[in-house]
Structure 1
């Protein structure tokens, strides 16, 4: 996989994989924060990512037409499939405007068949349970995923937004390669003694993939009002950080972070990503963008060094941020499941 040499790599779990420190989150290429650009622009962005060695791609069946878009790219570039480590997910369903996950064995099988058809591929490299449904014992879901692996449809197993106990139970059925969780300077619950998720992942040798590593763009400092995130299709206006009682205090923190970044000659986004990378070689942020220049900016963060003093100051500043993360309001964060009977 020659393209990987252009981006620093680390061991991805304990199963012999080496992946880029920074993955490419594809949620926003299909219009989560705005209306999706034309296919020509999005396919060009994928070309650019590949040319830069950004070949750890992360999508999901619920990210609009993302899997269809990838299917078009792979159809046009079949020789490059071997260089891409592709992750997708199943389990999130929106019914009548409400989150209604399913991690049942039956839905898992239906979902992978639909994903593979949309992607035009015989397999994906990493398949995540996107959300646990609180109904299906995780052992049953993982056993179905093992069957899919044996059938050659997936190569590695992952879980998103799980509890430490769910991870432990899943890992007892089959080694879990990666968990995916919201982790950023402003979202550090994974580290806490209450969740014990980071501790458990490290005990088991499971890679930690960090979604929303830039706080849905908030940590970039470019979005300073609710109006900045109120364009067509933009979901971010509901983030608690933008609530009127919180925003003024949070902007003070963002401005102090920007001062640190400016003194280092980098952007706030690069500082936030570099901070996350400094938390350990098992940490893999997956920032998303629909802009090739932002993609290059994100990749450059891999060469930024965070000093011990900067680490201390950044954590102190982050402690001043007010407003919970949005996922905690859904009822499916750090998900658990019933015991297997």
Structure 2
């Protein structure tokens, strides 16, 4: 009797309509663009001006297992993103690259405060990025929302939150805080989160990546986060000694019961030491327990990855089929910060039909 090959290939996954919620604009530049912008803007700090060698340098520098070391690579990408022209170009190319990977909806985040060294104001930074994304949407048929990010070790979160509200009708769909977690709890920015809640605005918080359960607890219970950026350490509140009957602690049960989305980035989590390997990544258990898990890229340049590659790694590690990949994708679309009607239209009009066609093509008998 013939059996069916349910394992999606990388090529097939690239054709699937995908959704990406956690992608950093300054972590996804093309090496060629970094070299061009460094020359145009007089930035002299690059370790090499050969694009191929530069790509290798970024990937190798990001494999230290330390979040702090990982974040150091952003010195160079942020360094060449200090003009309106550079920001617009990077945003446009981001839209182009994501669309080429089959992404139909993406939320891309960046920290406006990091792009003002050459005199740009915060609104000018936001407007330059929006210009690039709007052009990319028009030319490549992708829908992109942006998240403006505040750095958790700085004191400008209220300013950035106000930007999120000011530009929410122009393409900014939410707010985020990022940076090293240890020593910089999200509660330091409580006034910004309370302001966003009063304004009915959406926000996510980087939590549970390099730091443990207290970071997740504060992000949810004190700050009211709609989603968790990474949230990998929620696994610390699950006793999986009995693989057939894992026991959830109160925080893990709350996160699952409330359907709080987890923006997981497998390759990046390994690079920063939040997980040991793809096969040991908490995403496997969390998917089995039906947490609201989503799959993301984090920083495509540093991790040498794409959303298709992230999904394919999970296929190889956990023997996932099309139904699993569709589950991750629908989770992400349900969790997006755009309106319910638009989310539903993408799920029913693009994602489910796209996966149905791929499943039909992939269901071929093996001799």
- Name the structure where helix makes up a greater proportion of residues: 2
TM-score for both structures, normalised by structure 1: 0.46
TM-score for both structures, normalised by structure 2: 0.44
